[in-house]
């Protein structure tokens, strides 16, 4: 019997990686829209950026339309990792280097990792007052230094306290946005 999904598409835990990745981008997009931010999607992933999230408006002092660039990944957090953080090992050397902070970057870059349920059917559940997106997204800066591009896996420490929420996403964009009323 032939497999339903070729191995290159990542069939296995959490299902097909194409669906996991799309779900993760939709999850982050939904948070950004709820935060009153604009989301721009990269059509070609050639520099490690999936989403550019920006604030539009004149409600803050500072740069016009500040934003952040985000690489979105999904994973199954391991059991037994440290109490205050996880170590994500899903970035290749090339992807890691794309996210390393550089002084000449126009926008800060973040890795956002979404913990997804094993079953694709559990990504969203119905509640009495609407739909609930599952599960949790966390963010991390990749401080560097750059590594050899050919490495197959480079660890990134992700603090469990760095949960991606409406408030934290607005703070990543600009510190003055946290706690402010979201303009219509």
pLDDT in single tens digits along all 184 residues of the chain: 444 333 433 444 445 777 888 899 999 999 999 998 999 998 887 888 999 999 877 666 667 788 999 999 998 776 556 788 888 988 999 999 999 988 888 899 999 999 888 788 888 888 999 888 878 899 999 988 999 888 989 999 999 999 999 999 999 998 777 655 555 4
Per-residue confidence (pLDDT) for residue 24, from 0 to 100: 92
Q: 45-65 in b/e burial notation, b at 16+ Cβ within 10 A?
A: eeebbbbebbbeeeeeeeeee
Q: What is the CATH number of domain 7-176?
A: 3.40.1350.10
- Hunting for tokens 């339309």 — which residue is that? 65
Of 156, 133, 122, 123, nearest to 48 by C-alpha is 156
Helix pair angle (166-173, 17-34), 10° resolution:
80
Per-residue confidence (pLDDT) for residue 163, from 0 to 100: 94
pTM (2 d.p.): 0.83
Compute φ and ψ for 50, nearest 5 degrees: -90, -40
Per-residue confidence (pLDDT) for residue 76, from 0 to 100: 78
Per-residue confidence (pLDDT) for residue 178, from 0 to 100: 65
Per-residue confidence (pLDDT) for residue 9, from 0 to 100: 39
Distance between CA atoms of residues 88 and 85, nearest Å: 10
Token pair belonging to 8? 């290159």
């Amino acid at each position: 019997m032939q497999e339903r999904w070729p191995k290159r598409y990542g069939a296995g835990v959490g299902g097909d990686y194409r669906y996991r990745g799309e779900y993760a981008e939709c999850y982050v997009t939904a948070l950004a829209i709820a935060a009153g931010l604009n989301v721009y999607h990269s059509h070609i992933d050639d520099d490690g950026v999936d989403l550019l999230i920006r604030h539009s408006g004149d409600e803050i002092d500072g740069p016009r339309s500040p934003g952040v660039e985000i690489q979105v990944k999904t994973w199954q957090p391991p059991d037994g990792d440290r109490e205050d953080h996880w170590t994500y090992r899903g970035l290749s050397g090339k992807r890691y280097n794309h996210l390393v902070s550089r002084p000449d970057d126009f926008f800060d870059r973040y890795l956002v990792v979404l913990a997804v349920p094993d079953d694709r059917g559990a990504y969203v559940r119905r509640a009495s007052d609407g739909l609930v997106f599952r599960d949790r997204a966390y963010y991390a800066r990749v401080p560097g230094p750059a590594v050899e591009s050919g490495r197959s896996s480079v660890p990134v420490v992700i603090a469990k306290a760095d949960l991606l929420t409406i408030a934290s996403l607005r703070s990543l964009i600009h510190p003055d946005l946290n706690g402010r009323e979201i303009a219509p």
